[in-house]
Amino acid sequence: MGTDTQLVLTVLGIVLTVALVWLLFSVVPGDTYFNPFRGRWESVALPQGWQIKLGRELAPDFERELGGSHPNGALQGRVYQIGARLVGALHRWERSRGGNLEWAVFPFRFRVVASERVNAFALPGGPIYLTYGLLSKLSTDDQLAGVLGHELGHVVLRHTAQKLAVSLKANALVWGIRRLFGQDIADWVGGAAALLSLKYSRDQEREADRFGFELLCRAGHNPQGLGQVFRLFQQLGARSSLEILSTHPDPGNRIRELQTLRCGQFVP
Ligand SMILES: [Zn+2]
């Protein structure tokens, strides 16, 4: 076989591999399911089983990077209790909207991590993390429930799964570009892709806010708990730069939107 043929085959192999990954995480294995909260059938790039498996795989490293599980058992217990109450309300809400307990199979887990950063995270499939830096600044259960409810929204509305699918596709593309065009161009594309996959879209953040608001209503919390957290971010951000403000939409707009919401009127 001549070098030209080999080169063509190599290039073809790389292009096909990248195309396959894109196809895989775009449409092919996506499960179609009835989303009771949006009231319509939807398909998602990552099937539920994959989301759960990936979340489980990612959790130990993720936790370690955030300083590990916080040793205070009472603190973990309080977060667990509030999280469990929200999950109970979530399942009742789902049933009332004609859902089939699909969300019940998400192994939701609420964990405080020792990091002093002020942030909260959700992995696909259920693990939800709250930093000690954030928890130590919250003064009420309603505020804590607000943060957890927002993160639950990202999982249940499949924002985490979509974000992961996008970053898997971006990684495949960067790999392909590195093989074909070299490291420099790959670095440039990788940087752009990392920026894209760093945050949820503005629309997803607002949808998770509205979802969290309604979930708080249904779990018997003051639904303005989430708005109070954003006010806290504003105060903290005025004093020093706050990581969460650089990756999230302006809290002022979110507070204003939350003030227009009413219990029992969730619109996705
Ligand atoms: Zn969010």
What is the Cβ-side half-sphere exposure of residue 153, based on CA atoms within 13 angstroms?
27
Q: Does a structural domain hold residue 38?
A: yes
Distance 41 CA to ligand 1 centre (A): 23
Distance 119 CA to ligand 1 centre (A): 10
Q: Does a structural domain hold residue 31?
A: yes
Cα separation, 106 vs 94, in Å, equals 13
pLDDT digits 0-9 by tens, 11-35: 888 888 878 777 776 655 556 777 8
Domain that holds residue 34: 27-260
Is residue 151 among the annotated active site residues?
Answer: yes
Question: pLDDT averaged over consecutive 10-residue blocks of the chain (268 residues)?
Answer: 79 82 65 80 77 87 93 96 95 84 78 93 90 95 97 89 78 80 77 64 90 97 95 82 70 91 89
Q: Does a structural domain hold residue 2?
A: no
pLDDT digits 0-9 by tens, 88-135: 999 999 888 887 666 667 889 999 999 999 899 898 888 999 999 999
Q: Report the mean per-residue pLDDT for the chain.
A: 85
Cα separation, 252 vs 234, in Å, equals 8
Q: Does a structural domain hold residue 92?
A: yes
Give the position of tokens 């942030």.
Answer: 119
Longest dimension (CA), the chain: 72
Cα separation, 179 vs 14, in Å, equals 8
Of the residues 63, 94, 151, 214, only one is catalytic, namely 151
Q: Does a structural domain hold residue 13?
A: no
Q: How far is CA 186 from CA 15, 23, 61, 182, 197, in A?
A: 15, 21, 25, 6, 16
Q: Does a structural domain hold residue 14?
A: no
Distance 156 CA to ligand 1 centre (A): 12
Tokens at 135, concatenated? 């928890």
- Do 168 and 21 meet the contact criterion of CB atoms below 8 Å apart? yes
Q: Does a structural domain hold residue 239?
A: yes
Q: Does a structural domain hold residue 246?
A: yes
Distance 112 CA to ligand 1 centre (A): 17
Number of domains in the chain: 1
Distance 145 CA to ligand 1 centre (A): 14
How far from each other are the two terminal CA atoms of the chain, in whole angstroms? Answer: 58
